[in-house]
Amino acid sequence: MRKSLFEGARTDRRSARRGHLLAVATGKARRGLDRAFEHTGLKPLFHASRTADETFSKPHPAMIEELLDELMIAPERALMIGDTTHDLEMARNAGIASLAAGYGAHPPEGLTEHGALVVCHSFAELAAWLRDNA
């Protein structure tokens, strides 16, 4: 279990300031996500969340579909950022675009075949892609 944030994640709050709605779809239980939010202090940045004990598990698209409904976002206006093949398959199953975080749980070479627009190899690279494209 990862106990700290990826390098650069704590200071990069540009997406929230740009008016993007941010959500979490996690394989953690609600209790685990709440603990992570408390530990990092990032809960105020997120507008919604779903956990594995509240809905179907990844790669079923229910987590994303429920979040899109709650936030009133059309699938074509959404972007999933994931660091596992399960994340990217969930995005594909929900019909939304995805980015792969190749610095996370699964190695980057295993993420390339799951339909992501790009595989980012650092949080800084991901932030730059979002700045230029989102």
Q: What is the domain range of residue 85?
A: 14-133
Q: Provide the token pair at 5.
A: 């944030």
What is the sign, positive or negative, of the torsion defined by CA atoms of 122, 34, 51, 49?
A: negative
CATH of the domain at 35: 3.40.50.1000
Residue 8: inside a domain, yes or no? no
Residues 25-49: pLDDT tens digits? 999 999 999 999 998 888 998 999 9
pTM: 0.85
Residue 2: inside a domain, yes or no? no
Neighbours of 98 (CB within 10 A): 24
Residues 58-72: pLDDT tens digits? 999 999 999 999 999
Domain count, the chain: 1
Residue 6: inside a domain, yes or no? no
Residue 117: inside a domain, yes or no? yes
